[in-house]
Structure 1
Amino acid sequence: MKPIILYGHHAGPNPKKVVMVLEELNIPYEVKLLKFPEMKQPAYEKINPNGRVPAIEDPNTGITLWESAAIIEYLVEKYDENRTISFPPGTPEYYYAKQWLHFQASGQGPYFGQAVWFKIHHKEHIQSAFDRYINEIRRVSGVLNGVLEGHQYLVNDTYSYADTAFIPWFDIIPWLAGDAIDLKKDFPNVHAWLNTLKSRPAVITGLGKVKSEAPKKL
């Protein structure tokens, strides 16, 4: 099997969850790190017209994909024949896992990302805007905290890609929110869940492979 090419950036949470899935499934891959200006150049926009990361090129199928949730769905449907981190098609768990992946992509990522924007990228400091997204982070965390009450994982108490998808954005909470959010105190089920997830070798590799740095102003 030829290595899948993964395009990422050292400060981006989204490529990391793709790395975690690749690692869990033992799929060979190569990471190509881009700088922000390179994402807006014609060469990369041919791969991802949206000019963001991640994107993948799979030389085994000729498929090029962008959007992390779509990439994860592709990887598990194409390569997780043993259902290592996914569920058999047609089962309730199959759809529940998709549900959580979509919640991550629509509910977690955008709110966390906007908090980052208003913390460091927006030209003017607008405290009310930053507070709005910090409150949304708390709301999303509360949803997960309630669902995880008495459960180790999101779907059928079985580790799956649905859990994986949430990890990288939560990993920036200390830098992003500071004292405003204390996961251990305010969302103990989420805190315990993340600690369990972060003990997995694939997650450790994913968090370190695309090395984290605090985002800088563009």
Structure 2
Amino acid sequence: MAQPIKVHLTPPGPNPWKVVLVLQELGVPYEYHSFPFAEVKNKPYTDINPNGRVPAIEDPNTGVKIWETGAIILYLIEQYDTDHKISFPDLTNRSLCNQFLFFQVSGQGPYFGQAGWFNVLHSEKLQSAMDRYNAEVQRILGVLEGLLSGKQWLVGDKMTYADLSFVTWNDRIDSLTMCAPDKKFVGFPGVQAWHERMTGRDAWKKCMEDRDRLMDEQGLQSNGMPKGVNSMEEYEALIKAHNEAEAAKKAGK
């Protein structure tokens, strides 16, 4: 039996749950190191990921420590999906899965993230920025709709890590673009059906139960900010105060 892989994460964001979802689908043991967002750019976490982003993993079975979700997912597939449960053995289909994974990490994730920033978190409402990134959300959904035409999955005849890599960000479209939950896939029925196939799975339900629990442990709202904090400015001030208190504590030792 493999030792559990340690997943370092702050629970609000979509990216860590891509990795957890893959682990859950593969049945690979894992454990959480869940910590506050205020600590993501501080030691000791930056000794693991100097970029100060989540997630990162540590695999005690191999000694590998790695960050960036695309790299983590490729590592997990190579190391732990030898039976090709959510991958393929042949070069063509493997390359197609990687193509879609890189489309997710370079296209969907960054553009959806910027939509969330300018629609929800940015202190100034910049209509041009909101319009640009909302349009990019629609464009990417359109690309996916075309790719899924006549198909259930992106590659071959089964769900793979290519499909799983998109689900966490797609699930947040309503909160990122401030639309009604039942309107986030309007005009993209193929994407909606594909998304629902994945979110109906036990692995997804387990991940979201864990996320809710970890969020509650940190006293966080659904938008990731602490309860009682109503704007990004308040949250940034809270983070600054936390970091100053930690620095003062270390200086006093």
The answer to whether the superposition gives a TM-score over 0.5 is yes
Please tell me whether the aligned partners of residues 168 and 207 of structure 1 are also in contact (alpha carbons under 8 angstroms).
no
Q: Number of residues paired by the alignment?
A: 217
Determine the structure 1 residue equivalent to 2:3: 2
Please tell me whether the aligned partners of residues 115 and 176 of structure 1 are also in contact (alpha carbons under 8 angstroms).
yes
Determine the structure 2 residue equivalent to 1:102: 102
Distance 1:74-1:2 versus aligned 2 partners, 3 A rule? same
Give me the whole-angstrom Cα distance separating, in 1, the residues matched to 2:178 and 2:121: 17
Give me the whole-angstrom Cα distance separating, in 1, the residues matched to 2:208 and 2:104: 17
1:169 maps to 2:165: no
In the superposition, the TM-score normalised over structure 2's length comes to 0.82
Q: Which moved further from structure 2: 136-145 or 201-210?
A: 201-210
Give me the whole-angstrom Cα distance separating, in 2, the residues matched to 1:170 and 1:25: 21
Give the C-alpha shift of residue 207 in structure 1. 2.8
Q: Which 4+ residue blocks in structure 1 deviate beyond 6 angstroms?
A: none
1:125-204, aligned counterparts within 5 Å? 125-179=125-179, 182-204=183-205
Q: 1:10-51 CA distances to partner (integer Å, 9 max, x unpaired)?
A: 211011111111011111100111211111112000000010
Distance 1:185-1:124 versus aligned 2 partners, 3 A rule? closer
Alignment root-mean-square deviation, CA: 1.6
Q: Which residue of 220, 224, 228 maps to 1:215?
A: 224
Give me the whole-angstrom Cα distance separating, in 2, the residues matched to 1:118 and 1:205: 30
Give the C-alpha shift of residue 156 in structure 1. 0.9
Structure with higher Rg: it is 2
Give me the whole-angstrom Cα distance separating, in 2, the residues matched to 1:83 and 1:42: 37
Give me the whole-angstrom Cα distance separating, in 2, the residues matched to 1:207 and 1:162: 20
Give me the whole-angstrom Cα distance separating, in 2, the residues matched to 1:36 and 1:142: 33
Q: Which has the higher contact order (CA 8 A, sep 6+)?
A: 1
Give the C-alpha shift of residue 113 in structure 1. 0.6
Give me the identity figure in percent: 47
Give me the whole-angstrom Cα distance separating, in 2, the residues matched to 1:215 and 1:141: 24
Determine the structure 2 residue equivalent to 1:39: 40
Please tell me whether the aligned partners of residues 116 and 177 of structure 2 are also in contact (alpha carbons under 8 angstroms).
no
Q: Which moved further from structure 2: 193-202 or 112-121?
A: 112-121
